[in-house]
Amino acid sequence: MQLLELFVHRGGRAATAREAITVDGEKVQIGLWLAKARTKKRAGRLPVEHDHLLALLFEGNWADDTVQPVALA
């Protein structure tokens, strides 16, 4: 979750399925992680806590691929 927030801060948008972020020299497939989280949400298999945390970063239904992140200070 923190890596997604970092990506959003850096890019001002959500990661697409094939995007990665480099943290401490390691490449993390953050876009793939978000895509899988969206799939779990749609299937009703995402823990409620994770859903609430992700909802803080996005306006509206974060599982929708077109929803933009909330402007972060």
pTM: 0.84
Average pLDDT (17-23) is: 91
Residue 12 has a pLDDT of 84
**pLDDT tens-digit series, residues 30-72:** 999 999 999 999 999 999 999 999 998 887 789 988 888 886 5
Q: Is the confidence at residue 23, as pLDDT, over 90?
A: no
Using CA atoms, how far residue 25 sits from 21, 22, 28, 33, 39, in Å, is 10, 6, 10, 18, 28
Residue 73 has a pLDDT of 41
